[in-house]
Amino acid sequence: MIQQIYPCVPHHYRYELNKDFQFAAAHYIPDEAAGKCARLHGHTYFANVTVGGDQLDETGFLVNFSEIKKLIHDRFDHTSLNEHTDLFHERSAESYPTTENVARIMAELVQQYLDNKGNGAECLQIFLRETPTSYVVYRPKAGRA
Ligand SMILES: Nc1nc2c(c(=O)[nH]1)N=C([C@H](O)[C@H](O)COP(=O)(O)OP(=O)(O)OP(=O)(O)O)CN2
Ligand SMILES: [Zn+2]
């Protein structure tokens, strides 16, 4: 089972939920500067999604753990990230499937789901490990005034 200490995100919500899961995916970074990563290769990504909120739903959930996993896992597992052209493309570096961009897009997908759910929950952090030695932490609200 995935067991790891993740960085804490500061917030004032009463509830904080975390969901760990993994997915296997291929990708390449479409830029020669990426070196060996410009060639198609694969990873088992390990993800931790952090959601905060004050209001539970009628089931007593902030959000169903399994829905958080499904949102990302069902979409990306055993796929090539570069083929998700609705999310990733080669026209700008902000849309290359780098760990940073994958983490940000995961946060956006989770937040869209939470917005539709309607109990004010918020995606606070994505921890995304691409290799045993490389990971990114993305916090949607960090850097805002
Ligand atoms: N800032 C980023 N740097 C790199 C990314 C990235 O997404 N963001 N991606 C890659 C490659 O895709 C690669 O899969 C990961 O690179 P790296 O950590 O160098 O992988 P190694 O397993 O070779 O690492 P070692 O610790 O040297 O074994 C590259 N950079
Ligand atoms: Zn890679």
Is 11 marked as a binding-site residue? Answer: no
**Ligand 1 pocket, mutate which of 88, 94, 131, 136 (most atoms under 8 A from CB):** 131
The single residue listed with the structure tokens 């990504």 is: 45
d(CA 53, CA 36): 41
Task: Read off the pTM.
Answer: 0.95
What are the E-state strand segments in the chain? 15-27, 41-53, 79-80, 122-131, 134-138
Which pLDDT score, from 0 to 100, does residue 5 have?
Answer: 81
Question: In 3D, which of 67, 55, 68 has the Cα closest to residue 118?
Answer: 55
Q: What is the pLDDT of residues 93-129, one digit of tens each?
A: 999 999 999 999 999 999 999 999 999 999 999 999 9
Q: Is the ipTM of this complex over 0.90?
A: yes
* 16, 52 contact by CB (below 8 A): yes
* CA 65 to ligand 1 centroid distance, Å: 29
Domains of the chain, by residue range, sit at 27-36+47-138
Tokens of 26: 């291929």
Residue 133 alpha carbon, nearest atom of ligand 1? 26
How long, in residues, is the chain? 145
Which pLDDT score, from 0 to 100, does residue 1 have?
Answer: 56
Q: Of the residues 8, 32, 73, 78, which is catalytic?
A: 78
Q: Of the residues 11, 16, 37, 100, which is catalytic?
A: 37
Tokens of 30: 């479409």
Task: State whether the beta carbon of 98 lies less than 6 angstroms from ligand 1.
Answer: yes
Which pLDDT score, from 0 to 100, does residue 60 have?
Answer: 98
Question: In 3D, which of 19, 13, 131, 25 has the Cα closest to residue 70?
Answer: 19
Taking 70 as the pLDDT cut, the residues of the chain under it are: 1-3, 144-145
Which pLDDT score, from 0 to 100, does residue 145 have?
Answer: 57
Domain 27-36+47-138 architecture: 2-Layer Sandwich (3.30)
Residue 125's Cβ-count burial label (10 Å; 0-12, 13-18, 19+) is: buried
Residue 37: active-site member: yes
Which pLDDT score, from 0 to 100, does residue 2 have?
Answer: 66
Is 12 marked as a binding-site residue? Answer: no
